[in-house]
Amino acid sequence: MNLIRAILLLIIFITPLRANTIYNLIKIPNLKIYEINTKNKLKYLYATSSFRLGVQKNIVCLSSNKKDLERKYKTIYKNLSRYSYNYLKKINLKYIVLCEDLSISGINTAGIPDNIMKTLILDIKFNEDYFERVIHHEVFHIVNDQHRELFNKNEWSKFNSSEFKYAECSICTEKLGLETYNKTNGFFTEYSKSTASEDMAEVYSHIIFLSKNEIDQIRKLDSILDNKISYIENKIKKIDNSFNF
Amino acid sequence: MIKKIKASKSEKIILIFLVILSIVTIGPYFVIKNECLFIKNFDPKNINFKNPKNIAILNLPCGNVIIELYPEISPNGVKRFITLIESNAYDNVAFHRVIENKLVQAGDLEFGRKDSLDYGKIGTGKSGLGTIKSEIENEFIYVKGSVGLARTYKNDTEDSQFFIILQDEPLFEGEYTPVGKVIYGLEVLKKIKHQRHSEYILRPDFINTFRMLD
**Same structural domain, A122 and A17:** yes
**Same structural domain, A119 and A157:** no
Range in A35-49, A89-103, B31-45, B63-77 with the lowest mean pLDDT: B31-45
**Same structural domain, A175 and A83:** no
Contact A43 B171 (CB under 8 A): yes
Please check the confidence at residue B50 and state whether its pLDDT lies above 60: yes
Residue A93 placed within a domain = yes
Residue A6 placed within a domain = no
Query: Which of A126, A159, A189 represents a domain boundary (last residue)?
Result: A126
Q: What pLDDT score does A144 carry?
A: 97
pLDDT tens digits, one per residue of B137-187: 899 999 999 999 999 988 999 999 999 999 999 999 999 999 999 999 999
Measured CA to CA, the distance from residue B113 to residue B207 in angstroms comes to 10
**Same structural domain, A183 and A235:** yes
Q: What pLDDT score does A167 carry?
A: 80
Residue A136 placed within a domain = no
**Same structural domain, A39 and A86:** yes
Closest CA in chain B for residue A37: B170
Q: At what angle do helices A196-209 and A212-221 cross, to 10 degrees?
A: 130
Query: What are the two backbone dihedrals, phi and then psi, of residue B182, each rounded to the nearest 5 degrees?
Result: -70, 125
Residue A4 placed within a domain = no
Residues of B in contact with A33 (CB under 8 A): 170-171
Residues 133-162 (B) with a CB less than 8 A from some CB of A? none
The pLDDT-based confidence of B5 (bands split at 50, 70, 90) is: confident
Coil, strand, or helix at residue B96? Answer: coil
Q: Which of A99, A95, A97, A92 is nearest to A142 (CA)?
A: A92
Helix or strand holding residue B99 (H, E): strand B97-99
**Same structural domain, A26 and A55:** yes
Query: Closest approach of chain B CAs to the CA of A30, in angstroms?
Result: 16
Q: Is B203 on the interface with A (CB under 8 A)?
A: no
Q: Is A118 on the interface with B (CB under 8 A)?
A: no
Q: Is B163 on the interface with A (CB under 8 A)?
A: no
Coil, strand, or helix at residue B36? Answer: coil
Q: Which of A11, A23, A24, A42 to mutate to test the interface with B (most CBs of B within 10 A)?
A: A24
Q: How many structural domains does chain A have?
A: 2
Residue A18 placed within a domain = yes
**Same structural domain, A54 and A105:** yes
Question: Facing residues of A43 across strands?
Answer: A95
Measured CA to CA, the distance from residue A125 to residue B63 in angstroms comes to 54
Residue A56 placed within a domain = yes
Give the residue-averaged pLDDT of B72-86: 97
**Same structural domain, A89 and A162:** no
DSSP string, B120-162: TTTTS---SS--B-----S-----TTEEEE---SSSS-B-S-E
User: Which ipTM value was assigned to this complex?
Assistant: 0.74
CATH number of B44-212: 2.40.100.10
Q: What pLDDT score does A7 carry?
A: 63
Residue A166 placed within a domain = yes
Measured CA to CA, the distance from residue B99 to residue B188 in angstroms comes to 14
Full-model pTM: 0.81
Residue A155 placed within a domain = yes
Q: What pLDDT score does A183 carry?
A: 87
For the CA atoms of A11, A13, A15, A18, the dihedral, rounded to the nearest 10 degrees, stands at 140
pLDDT tens digits, one per residue of B100-146: 999 999 999 999 999 989 999 999 999 999 999 999 989 999 999 99
**Same structural domain, A159 and A218:** yes
Domain that includes residue A96, residue range: 13-126
Query: Which of A75, A91, A126 represents a domain boundary (last residue)?
Result: A126
Consecutive 10-residue averages of pLDDT for chain A (245 residues): 61 56 91 95 96 90 92 96 96 96 92 95 94 96 96 95 83 73 89 94 96 95 96 97 91
Contact A25 B175 (CB under 8 A): yes
Give the residue-averaged pLDDT of B56-72: 97
Measured CA to CA, the distance from residue A130 to residue A137 in angstroms comes to 10
Residues 6+ apart with CB under 8 A from A77: A35, A38, A44
Measured CA to CA, the distance from residue A121 to residue A189 in angstroms comes to 23
Burial A153-167 (b: 16+ CB within 10 A, else e): eeebeebbeeeeebe
Contacts across the A-B interface (CB distance below 8 Å): 29
Domain boundaries, chain B: 44-212
Coil, strand, or helix at residue A103? Answer: strand
Measured CA to CA, the distance from residue B109 to residue B89 in angstroms comes to 7
Coil, strand, or helix at residue B207? Answer: coil
**Same structural domain, A94 and A182:** no
Query: Which of A126, A161, A185 represents a domain boundary (last residue)?
Result: A126
Q: What pLDDT score does A2 carry?
A: 66
Q: Which of A75, A2, A64, A67 is nearest to A30 (CA)?
A: A64
**Same structural domain, A89 and A167:** no
**Same structural domain, A245 and A199:** yes
